[in-house]
Amino acid sequence: MANAMIENVSDTAFWVAHYRGIESKRSNALFHDPLAAVLAGDRGRSIAEAMPRPFLTEWVVAVRTRIIDEFVKGAVGRGVDTVLNLGAGLDTRPYRMDLPPKLHWIEADYPAMIDYKENLLSQEKPRFGLQRVKCDLANDEERKSVLSDVNAKSQKFLVLTEGVVPYLSLDAAGALADDLRSLNHAAYWIVDYLSPQLLKYRERMMSDKMQNAPFLFRPTDWFGFFEQHGWHREEIRYFGEEGDRLGRKIRMPFLALIATIARALVSSAERQNFKNAAGYALMVPK
């Protein structure tokens, strides 16, 4: 499927939306996203079919979506009046989450992604205030303008960068972190965590499929990087531990199961490192 390869970072939104649609059909779904399949369309399905380890991606998307949902609910419960979703992709939380009607939700992404989404969702009604902003986050002027506007109009806001930071260079991630830290009303930031070991594994498994959208964010010390840029980890939820908590252990085919049995023979510390290889962190300003 030549047309199924990832052509740019935006294509990953179709890929992820496809798996949110699959999760929503499960009898024990961790969330329900009825619009995901509509947005993913044939593009999302064809990308998913071309990628290795579909069982792993399906599991990761389900668990990560639930983690972020719970972080968002918690932050809103602590007084957040605005959520800024940077690189929103095909996220549909404003249409499916039970949050206060007075909440203001802002999505920022490339113009083509915004246009695509607005066209398909034109007849759908969000559950709270929703605004979409066309913005290239790599453009310093555009990014700073969006952030300044949100800060001026909010009392306490949460920043969500789901699946965004891994694609940024260290310099670009640092610039974003500094920009966010300079905003006096930015109270929380939800950001991806990936261990160096997982990054190496992903590169081996996915390099030929993701050459147009490689992971660039590879700090020597992930937590130290954000500390240096003014952000402290308040909480982190790892996929392995959250999968156990939610009763959603990863489903694996036979060969992967053999590998898991082999891992059971290593030390408990090594098994814990495997469980803690990736997740999402809720960051707060230092």
- pLDDT of 263: 53
Distance, CA of 276 to CA of 271 (rounded, Å): 9
Whole-number mean pLDDT of the chain? 90
Topology of domain 2-285 in CATH is Rossmann fold (3.40.50)
Instruction: Tell me whether strands 186-194 and 278-285 are parallel, antiparallel or unpaired.
Output: antiparallel
Say how many C-beta atoms besides its own lie within 10 A of residue 46's C-beta.
Answer: 18
- CB-side exposure of 174: number of CA atoms within 13 Å? 9
For residue 229, give both structure tokens: 């840029």
Measured between its terminal Cα atoms, the distance across the chain in Å is 47
Instruction: Evaluate if residue 92 carries a pLDDT over 50.
Output: yes
Residues 51 and 57: beta-carbon distance below 8 Å: yes
Q: Where are the alpha helices (DSSP H) in the chain?
A: 11-24, 36-50, 54-77, 93-96, 111-120, 140-153, 170-181, 196-206, 222-228, 239-245, 254-264, 268-275
Burial class (CB in 10 A: 0-12, 13-18, 19+), 120: middle
- pLDDT of 75: 98
CA dihedral 271, 272, 274, 278 (to 10 degrees): 170
Digit-coded pLDDT (tens) for 109-147: 999 999 999 999 999 999 999 999 999 999 999 999 999
pTM assigned to the model: 0.90
- pLDDT of 261: 46
Burial class (CB in 10 A: 0-12, 13-18, 19+), 187: buried
Digit-coded pLDDT (tens) for 26-51: 999 999 999 999 999 999 999 999 98
CA dihedral 117, 123, 125, 129 (to 10 degrees): 50
* Tokens 């964010």, located at residue: 217
The dihedral sign for the CA sequence 188, 90, 61, 138: negative
State how far Cα 262 lies from the chain centre: 30
User: Helix (H, G, I), strand (E, B), or coil: what is residue 253?
Assistant: coil
Domain locations in the chain? 2-285
Digit-coded pLDDT (tens) for 222-281: 999 999 999 999 999 999 999 999 999 877 554 454 455 445 544 444 445 556 889 999
Residues 280 and 192: beta-carbon distance below 8 Å: yes
